[in-house]
Chains A and B, each alone.
Chain A
Amino acid sequence: MSLSAYIPIVGLFALAAAFGLFSVAIAPFVGPRRFNRAKLDAYECGIEPTPQPIGGGRFPVKFYLTAMLFIIFDIEIIFLYPWAVSFDMLGLFGFVEMVLFIVAVFVAYTYVWRRGGLDWD
């Protein structure tokens, strides 16, 4: 295998880097400057980095639980996509395996539901 197959990838990297550099460099010169309060806030979500909040900026553990629960289903979907694409090839065996996988995720979900992981308060 020759290395020439990789030249487009190198080109893509170069293009991406050039685009990033160009956008950052050109923005101060051509962009409009209209500042207001919302512009200076952290973008959409997240904790204000300064001034340091009292107690290190703690937030309730519920957010963390919800995020973790989201990841469980996120990963389930990630595995479902390639299976759905090659469903015909995998046949009955693939179907049974996927049902088992979904059951396993459902077991974890049932645990969270029954033990109050879905209650906000």
Chain B
Amino acid sequence: MPELKLPDIDYAALLPMLILFGAACVGVLIEGFVPRSVRNMVQLVLSLAAMVAALVFVIRRAGEVTAENAATIGGAIMIDNMGLFMEGALLVLGLVSLLLFGERTLERGGAFVPHAAVTVGSERDREQAVDSGATEVYPLALFSLGGMLMFVTANDLLTMFVALEVFSLPLYLMCALARRKRLLSQESALKYFLLGAYASAFFLFGVAMIYGFAKGVDFRAIHEAVRGSETSPTLLLIGLALVAIGLLFKIAAAPFHVWTPDVYQGAPTPVTAFMAACTKAAAFGALLRVLYVGFDGAKWHFTPVLGAVAVLTMLVGAVLAVTQTDLKRLLAYSSVANAGYLMVGLLGGNKDGLSSTLFYLVAYGFTVIAAFALVSLVRDADGEATHLSRWAGLGRRSPLFAGIFTFLLLAFAGIPLTSGFMAKFGVFGAAIAGDQTWLVIFGVLTSIVLAFPYLRVVVMMWLSEPGETTPSVSIPGVLTSAVLGIGTVATLLLGVLPGPLLELADQASSFIR
């Protein structure tokens, strides 16, 4: 009987992922065996510890990456500088948004409902109101984050597909667990699941087409096939288009963005923050790898098409943000527009484009997590009051929080001395250097349009009188305060002293093929 030749497995390089998946399995066991009263605390501590440990191993790995040791498990995973940076960024952003999951002072039992199917207001619902909430979200978040780490380091399209499913499925579940506005939450989860499954099918079909073209699914084989092939590129173009649809769905680029406002609005706010920061970063990490490593030879084919998608994304995000009356939907359309700006950087197609996109992802992640943390504070008897009119006059009620939110909105708008300015400056500069000036023109124009809805919120908060129905701003617990502090300070620091992160992103902006 012949012995099977095993691929080399570098466990040290895979340790961050293994820690997260292992901790998630332990988390599932905790759900079964630890008493309900302490479960939330145990889960929170375990998840945070796992993320910190994973982050430590990512940092220890930095600087040790060489062309020889980057690929592991037979080339299925590629831990290069770029992959390490994305892993670190995802872990940091995931760590900050996980703090929001643990918040219990704003609402009894937290933002997650243990039995989502129970009718609101029924006897059983009153019973479960005293419960500690659905603590399953912690293992789910860990599974999801582990999948994201795998997604940004996947070195072939099949591993990438598996990772896509691993990080998507827990997200669909978490979206359905909101304690308040339960039906809206479940509707959003169903929409996200159906559309997400559809997008995954597109991705997989594209992988099949590319396999037909390149006789392989790993990025080196695809790269060589694109470079050297004399055959007709039909299969390549169909395959690349289908794979791109799957990825553009995840980054919420128009016209694949329609799920975004519904899901961002319906999902529990901590999950929305997690999605806005981490899902976007993971999907962009994968898109960068696909386009820069696998298909860089087809640049002349995809740049105009993705450029058109970027322009459409910026326009749709900016124009529809103007018409929104719900704050979470407004932030969702702003997230769509930001996907457009990120694509501008990506389409620069040079090293600057890569590093500026990385910087943008981290900067935007911190700001958006802090913004959603603040949204979760403004509450009335029915939970979060997200309608814009309810925020009128909030500046008088609570100048501190209105001030922080104003600062975050200005960062979204890209005002100097905030991280938003440095990020936009970076991606637009990279696009001009890469001869994509037309994208920058649209980028600047839509930024001006997008400033209007942000400033309208600011004006409403400060210049209106608070009315009878103006909700109060809850005093945040330690965890939400920490998130607000970290997000705001990061937004300010990355605007004033962007040097260290820019340098780090610059060092990280190299792939190993």
Residues of A whose CB lies within 8 Å of any CB of B are 61, 86, 88-91, 93-94, 103-104, 107-108, 110-111, 113-115
Contacts and interface: CB of A to CB of B under 8 A. Distances in A.
A94 B1 CA distance: 15
A111 B3 contact: no
A113 B33 CA distance: 11
Closest 3 CB pairs of A and B: A114-B32, A88-B1, A89-B4
Contacts of A107: 25, 28-29
A115 B32 contact: yes
Contact of A111 (B1, B4, B32, B117): B32
A114 B25 contact: no
Interface residues of B, number: 12
Interface string B29-59: 1011100000000000000000000000000
B2 A89 contact: yes
A55 B170 CA distance: 31
Contacts of A86: 4
By secondary structure, the A interface counts as helix
Contacts of A94: 4
B28 A111 contact: yes
A88 B28 CA distance: 33
A115 B30 CA distance: 11
B381 interface: no
Nearest to A88: B1
Contacts of A108: 28
Contacts of A104: 25
Contacts of A111: 28-29, 31-32
Contact of B32 (A88, A103, A110): A110
Contact of B4 (A91, A113, A114): A91
B130 interface: no
Contact of A114 (B2, B6, B33): B33
B3 A91 contact: yes
18 contacts: A61-B117, A86-B4, A89-B2, A89-B3, A90-B4, A91-B4, A93-B6, A94-B4, A104-B25, A107-B25, A110-B28, A110-B29, A110-B32, A111-B31, A113-B32, A114-B32, A115-B31, A115-B32
Contacts of B33: 114
Given A111-B32, A114-B33, A89 B25 contact: no
Nearest to B1: A88
A26 to B, nearest CB: 40
A84 to B, nearest CB: 14
Most buried by A among B1, B2, B31, B32: B32
Contacts of B6: 93
Contacts of B117: 61
B197 to A, nearest CB: 17
A42 to B, nearest CB: 28
Interface string B1-32: 11110100000000000000000010011011
Contacts of B1: 88-89
Contacts of B28: 107-108, 110-111
Contacts of B32: 110-111, 113-115
A88 B1 CA distance: 7
Nearest to A94: B4
B3 A114 contact: no
A79 B122 CA distance: 44
Contacts of B31: 111, 114-115
Nearest to A61: B117
A115 B28 CA distance: 11
Nearest to A86: B4
B119 to A, nearest CB: 14
Contacts of A103: 25
Contacts of A61: 117
A86 to B, nearest CB: 8
